[in-house]
Structure 1
């Protein structure tokens, strides 16, 4: 049996999920940047741990792209620009 508090919490979560427009920050593979450069950039720009950055870099290399961050467009826009400034190919989708 749901209490009134649980029902209100569930309704708040549902409203939050409806209003949150999550986007993906995707980095694409290229023939220019080194693994070390991509790893260092993901750590600095996206706040990744070394392990996260390394795994994303491997996915970028072998799969051609990787979602490196998810969030609101406003949050990802600055990161995307910073990745471009570091010569990485990135897009928000």
Structure 2
């Protein structure tokens, strides 16, 4: 009979994990002087699946700070949302 050693298990602390989070992408909405608040809020509700309160908060943040995160998701989801927002004449970008 041969001596079999149990497989070694290495415990890695959470802060050392190198897995990539698939929901790490964000759509950034930029302030502009062209679109009114109602249009921006309507787009955030319709395209980004926000409720009225969330849409208003994001629109105000973009207005006051120049930009705001309006959507978080996978790369593909964010690209789709950004394209739809761009078609509505909103200025957006996707970032990781």
1:20, distance to aligned residue in structure 2 (A): 1.7
Is residue 26 of structure 2 the alignment partner of residue 24 of structure 1? yes
The CA distance in 2 between the partners of 1:19 and 1:88, in whole Å, is 29
Unaligned runs of 5+ in 2: 1-11
| Normalised TM-score (structure 1) | 0.80
Which ranges of 4 or more aligned residues in structure 1 deviate by more than 6 Å? none
Aligned Cα RMSD in Å? 2.1
| Normalised TM-score (structure 2) | 0.77
SS at match of 2:89: coil
1:60, distance to aligned residue in structure 2 (A): 0.6
The structure with more radius of gyration: 2
Partner of 1:37: 39
- The number of residue pairs the alignment matches comes to 82
Is residue 74 of structure 2 the alignment partner of residue 72 of structure 1? yes
